[in-house]
Structure 1
């Protein structure tokens, strides 16, 4: 997939019940075949020039995950990763998938997938706080203070670079608490 037309083809290739589910989570009717979906997506893209097909799919992933439509969320998130052409698109797709896996974190495989997607979003420099907060808490819970400190330091670097000094300060205070407890 490379653009909105390819996304329309992807949606049209889904079985009718999945097209309806995708449409619900996308907030627009994308049923009725590839041409109808392409027209709707082109109109959406014209009105939202800052949105890429990949970021659109990441949003569908997040909406489906919120609605506990895990299968659709997983498919949309994986498609978002495949379609991602920029670092920002990859960051967003990994965060959307991390949010999906976080919901089922009591399952070891889901927790591992959550951690993997968060670490990739962090590596790519995502400037949202979700992954930094959850990873720091996870590592702190596991007693992996060194890893928790690394995530806090990375959060401070990225968030300050993005101009989010308030969030960066929260991570700075968290680092200070680690130091006050002797790194434990």
Structure 2
């Protein structure tokens, strides 16, 4: 199943399953690659033909994926996550791409955008859109995708305050 328009989704919340961090190749922009390699070393990324990718562990998961004490999976990069990771499972587009243009249309401060969601994500609840999805979740994803917002609240997994992961080079 391909991407679906947002109007079929009741709500979305990251449940910390880590599926996205195990199943997808994360393409990095040059600046993302530069920042990550400068901080953590080149071994946490890999180069492809004309692209840079986030590195993978031997089990296929992202090198920055960790299991927290409650069993959920957490990204060790958090505020430094690549944009592709910050906005998944949402696609924010200027034109309809996956059909259902009317159902994908979202008016954000007078701007017409088309919002789709990858149904592969288990954090999706199907049904009529909730007020939280319309007024908090989707606007936050739009703001993150457009660079208007750095801090994530509704568009990421919630962790206990004061819980930190420190990545050690060569680990």
Fold conserved (TM > 0.5)?
Answer: no
By relative contact order (CA 8 Å, sep 6+), the higher-ranking structure is: 2
More helix by share: 1
TM-score bracket, shorter-length normalisation: under 0.3
Return the TM-score normalized by structure 2. 0.27
Determine which structure has more spread, i.e. the larger CA radius of gyration: 1
Return the TM-score normalized by structure 1. 0.26
More strand by share: 2
